[in-house]
Each structure stands twice: as structure tokens, then as C-alpha cells.
Structure 1
Amino acid sequence: MNRMIVSGGLALALVAGLAWWLNSAPTPAQSELPFAAVNAQESDAETEEGAEAAEEEIDTSTIVEMSMGNPDAEVTLIEYASFTCPHCANFHQNQFKELKADYIDTDKINFIYRDVYFDRYGLWAAMVARCGGQERFFGISDMLYTQQRDWIGNGQDPVAIADRLRKIGKVAGLDDDQLEACLTDNQKAKTLVAWYQENAEEDDITSTPTLVINGEKHSNMAYDELKEVLDEALGE
């Protein structure tokens, strides 16, 4: 069983409304996580909520790993990404398609997708994607990345963003009751935040997209470079 101590302030900040960083995202091939800003939000929230909310024990073992490919493969590739990260959207519209065709669909590797939360909107998007379970997760994820600019808009209207996320969920076959249950599940939201923190700390994740191949961390790269790394790991 995986357990971790998550700051009540950080969980509250992400669930209730962490600041929006997307408009000031950097231009390199990956986005840096705003840890300083997160820590500042955490401190403010802890002050406001008091000592009782400072720490909360959350069981993260209830979170299902979203995976594709061969679970028994000798090579496991973990992608850390955020639904509000433009570089992650670019990765999924380009490198990931080739990766899926060459290595995932052919059962050469085990692929695991793990969420990173820049902001509340990325968390909401993950909750909608996970609302469909393992069977629908990657289909909804593809829609979220393909339509990223459309559902995010200018990032200033939370109600409009939530409505657009609901529409994506409905197109994917989810009904109103399912979506509302998923989007209003505060305990699930806090557990996802704790799970994200646990994974980010364990694998030293500081930017997205980040790829972890058999325990070795790699930054975003062109597909030809990724192919070389995977072929070497596979002994090909």
C-alpha cells in the first residue's frame, strides 16, 4: 500500500483553484513545474486553514495506473505529462503516435501515463479522463491534447473551462451523472494530488513531458532519439 503525507494546503490550493501559469509558460521544449509558486500557495493556504489542515494522510493505493502495451515487457516507459502543458500536447500529436505504433501496439514495451498538475484545470481534465476508466482513458486523453487550446481558451473562465471539459466527456460517451460525480469528488481530487506528489518526488520530476525508461529519466526528445534509447534498452 502506498501512503504519503500530503500538505493540506497544497491539496486545497490545487482542488479549489491554484494560480494559472499557462499564459506565462516558457518556450523551450518542455515546461518547468512552478514549484516555487506551489510552495507559496501552500504556505498561504496553511496559514488560512490553520494547523489542522497542514498535513493529511492520504492513501494513494486507490489510484489506478493508466497503461498500455505489454505489462510483462522488459522495458517500461513512464510518461509524466500535464493536460495543460502545450509541449505535452505537441508530444502526443507527434512522437507519441509513432511510439504507439512501433512499440506499444506491438507489445514491445509497457507504457504508463502519469499526471502532473500545473493547475486546477489540469486536475479537472485528468478527473474527466479517468472518469471513463482504463478503457476510455487514452481516448479521452487524446481528445484533451488535440483540443487543448479549445477547452482551455484564455484560461480566465473556470466555468467555461469546466463546461468544455464536460462536453469532451460527453462526446467520449460519459453521461451527465458520471461527469458530475467525477468532477465533484473532492476526496479523489486530493488523492490524485497526493499521488502526483509521491510520483514526482520518487522520480525527481521537475518538468513536462518527462520520460522515465526503466528507471532512467529523460527530457523531451525527438522521436529518432527516443527510438535509439528504446532500441538500446530492448537490446536491438
Structure 2
Amino acid sequence: MKQLIATGALALAMLAGPVQAQDADTSQVTEMTMGPADAKVTIIEYASFTCPHCASFHNGPLKELKADYIETDKVHFIYRDVYFDRFGLWASMVARCGGEEKFFGISDMLYEQQREWTNGQPAEIAENLRRIGKVAGIEPDALDACLNDEAKAKALVAWYQENAEAHEVNSTPTLIINEQKYSNMAYDELKGIIDEKLAE
């Protein structure tokens, strides 16, 4: 499980300076979701595109969760970004560049290819991310515009900070199931928790 670093240092590492609430318009950040909003169970996943444990969750348990609960309208799933480093932020900006309709498809590619695209110097990583975006059907000019959108970057970091503080998230993946916090777990355990909440 990957541990978070201090948010002030995180912002400094990714941007020119720390993000101040008044400098970032978090209202422009779209919540990425799957499943009906009125489902009995809501799961919020806090994850980072550079976190190996998050990749394991997305490449395994999340696929089962989608088939068993999300696509059967039993669970409303919300994905929320956590940024350990600038590369996770860049990946998020590429995933979001495709809009809501492409976000989870690009996310799957980012997690499936995590070892490949995170390997190299910053310029190589940026190019790797552009390549994933292109495969997803995003035009090169649009990708460059997304990656260079400083206002969006600041908004995403501020949004992440607000959410992580509200739910006291200090590692990833963290799951919030009907407002109760859980650490990463095997799918059988997650299934048991969901079934229990559906039966309440």
C-alpha cells in the first residue's frame, strides 16, 4: 500500500508553487462514476495511477466488482484521484482528456500498462502517456492542450487535497463504502461487505 506524502510538498513537487484554494476552481472537476447514482451501496475508491496496489485492484477485483455489482445496478462507483507525484497527475489529465465516456477505458490502459509507461525520464513518461492517449483516440493537439492546462492541474490537486482530507485518506487504494473507510482487501472480503450492506 502506497503512503501519501505531505500535500504541501506534493503540490510544490508538481507545480510551480503550493495550490491555494482561492487559486483553483474545483467546480470544473468532473466526478468520474459508474453505476446508478441511486444505488443502495456507494463505493468511492481513492487511487493513484502510479500505485502498484491500485493497478492490482483495477486489474482484478474491480473487474469482478463491475460485473457483479456495478453493471447490475447494485453499486454506484466513484473514482477519485490521489497524486503522489507529477506523473500520476499527468496520467489523470490524459485520462480526463477523453471526457467521461473514455475515462474508465483509458484508466484501464494506464493500470494495465503501468510498469511500461512509468519507466523512464520525465520526457519519456510524458511521451508514453501521449501514446496511450492517442491509442484511445485523442488527437495529439488535444492531448498537448490537456497536459499543458495549468488551471486544470491546480484544480485537480486542490480537489484531491479536499477529498483526501475529508475522508482522512493516507494510503491507496482506500475504499469508502457507504461512508465507512476500508483499506485494500481481497475481492471475497469486499463482496461480503457489499452483500451485508445490500441486505441492510
Larger radius of gyration: 1
The CA deviation at 1:206 is: 0.3
Match of 2:67 among 76, 87, 101: 101
Q: Deviations over 1:120-146 (max 9, x none)?
A: 000000000000000000000000000
Q: Given the superposition, is the C-alpha separation of residues 98 and 187 from structure 1 closer, same or farther in structure 2, using an over 3 Å criterion? A: same
In structure 1, the residue matched to 2:42 is: 76
Q: Does 1:168 align with 2:132?
A: yes
In structure 2, the residue matched to 1:231 is: 195
Q: Does 1:221 align with 2:185?
A: yes
Match of 1:208 among 168, 172, 177: 172
In structure 2, the residue matched to 1:21 is: none
Tell me how many residue pairs correspond in the alignment. 198
Inter-partner Cα distance in structure 2 for 1:77 and 1:96: 11
Q: Deviations over 1:146-179 (max 9, x none)?
A: 000000014xx11000000000000000001110
1:24-43 alignment runs, 5 A limit: 30-35=1-6, 38-40=7-9
Q: Does 1:197 align with 2:161?
A: yes
Inter-partner Cα distance in structure 2 for 1:223 and 1:217: 16
Unaligned residue ranges in structure 2 (runs of 5+) = none
Q: Is the 2:133–2:143 contact (alpha carbons within 8 Å) kept by the matching residues of 1?
A: yes
In structure 2, the residue matched to 1:127 is: 93
Q: Is the 2:19–2:154 contact (alpha carbons within 8 Å) kept by the matching residues of 1?
A: no
Q: Deviations over 1:19-46 (max 9, x none)?
A: xxxxxxxxxxx111122xx54566899x
* Other structure's SS at 2:34 match: strand
Q: Is the 2:43–2:75 contact (alpha carbons within 8 Å) kept by the matching residues of 1?
A: yes
* Other structure's SS at 2:33 match: strand
Q: Which is bigger in relative contact order (C-alpha 8 A, separation at least 6)?
A: 2
In structure 1, the residue matched to 2:123 is: 159
Inter-partner Cα distance in structure 2 for 1:114 and 1:214: 15
Q: Is the 2:13–2:85 contact (alpha carbons within 8 Å) kept by the matching residues of 1?
A: no
* Other structure's SS at 1:110 match: strand
* Other structure's SS at 2:73 match: coil
Q: Does 1:147 align with 2:118?
A: no
The CA deviation at 1:55 is: 3.8
The CA deviation at 1:56 is: 4.8
Match of 2:76 among 110, 134, 138: 110
The CA deviation at 1:59 is: 2.4
* Other structure's SS at 1:205 match: coil
Inter-partner Cα distance in structure 2 for 1:41 and 1:123: 11
Q: Given the superposition, is the C-alpha separation of residues 56 and 79 from structure 1 closer, same or farther in structure 2, using an over 3 Å criterion? A: closer
Q: Could you tell me the percent identity over the aligned residues? A: 63
In structure 2, the residue matched to 1:13 is: none
